[in-house]
C-alpha cells in the first residue's frame, strides 16, 4: 500500500500517515521522482560541447540527432567561412604586391623593359583580383545562406 501524498511536508522530510495495529509492523513503500531539465543556447555551443552531449547517455536519441545535425551544419559553415577568408588573404597579398610594384615603377623610366614588365604584372594581377572577387561574392552568399539555414533549423527545433 503506497499513499498518494504525504500528510505533512517539512524542509527535510515527508510524513505519511499509516495506521498500524499495536504490536505489529507494516512496510510503507514510497517512490520519489524528480524531473530534471536543462536548457542550452544552441547557437553558442562549440563542436567539443556538442560532441560531449552527443556521447552522453542522459541525452535522448532525438536530441543527439538534432545536435549532430547542428554540428554538421556548423562545420560546413566554418568551412565556407575559412574558404572566404583564404580568398580575402589572397586579395590582400596581391594588393600588397601591387603597392610594391607601383613604388618601384615610380623610380623607373616609363620606357624601360622593367617598367613594361611591371605593367604586365599589374594587368595579370587585376585579372586575378576580378576572379577572386567573384569567388568571394559567391562564398559570402553561400555563407549567408548556410547561416540562415542553421538559424532557421535551430529556431524551429523542438526536442521533447
DSSP state letters, 109-149: -TTSHHHHHHHHHHHHHHHHHHHHHHHHHHHHHHHHHHHHH
Q: What is the pLDDT of residue 40?
A: 63
Q: What is the pLDDT of residue 57?
A: 81
Whole-angstrom Cα distance, residue 41 to residue 83?
27
Question: Is residue 36 predicted with pLDDT exceeding 90?
Answer: no
Q: What is the pLDDT of residues 3-14, one digit of tens each?
A: 678 888 888 888
Q: What is the pLDDT of residues 67-104, one digit of tens each?
A: 889 999 999 999 999 999 999 999 999 999 999 999 99
pTM for this predicted structure: 0.68
Amino acid at each position: 500500500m503506497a499513499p498518494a501524498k504525504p500528510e505533512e511536508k517539512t524542509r527535510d522530510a515527508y510524513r505519511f500517515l499509516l495506521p498500524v495495529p499495536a504490536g505489529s509492523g507494516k512496510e510503507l513503500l514510497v517512490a520519489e521522482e524528480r524531473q530534471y531539465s536543462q536548457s542550452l543556447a544552441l547557437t553558442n555551443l562549440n563542436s567539443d560541447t556538442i560532441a560531449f552531449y552527443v556521447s552522453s547517455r542522459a541525452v535522448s536519441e532525438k536530441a543527439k540527432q538534432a545536435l549532430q545535425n547542428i554540428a554538421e551544419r556548423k562545420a560546413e559553415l566554418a568551412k565556407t567561412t575559412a574558404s572566404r577568408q583564404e580568398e580575402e588573404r589572397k586579395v590582400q597579398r596581391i594588393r600588397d604586391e601591387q603597392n610594391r610594384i607601383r613604388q618601384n615603377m615610380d623610380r623607373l623610366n616609363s620606357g624601360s623593359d622593367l617598367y613594361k614588365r611591371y605593367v604586365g604584372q599589374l594587368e595579370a594581377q587585376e585579372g586575378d583580383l576580378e576572379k577572386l572577387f567573384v569567388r568571394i561574392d559567391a562564398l559570402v552568399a553561400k555563407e549567408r545562406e548556410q547561416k540562415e539555414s542553421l538559424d532557421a533549423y535551430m529556431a524551429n527545433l523542438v526536442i521533447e
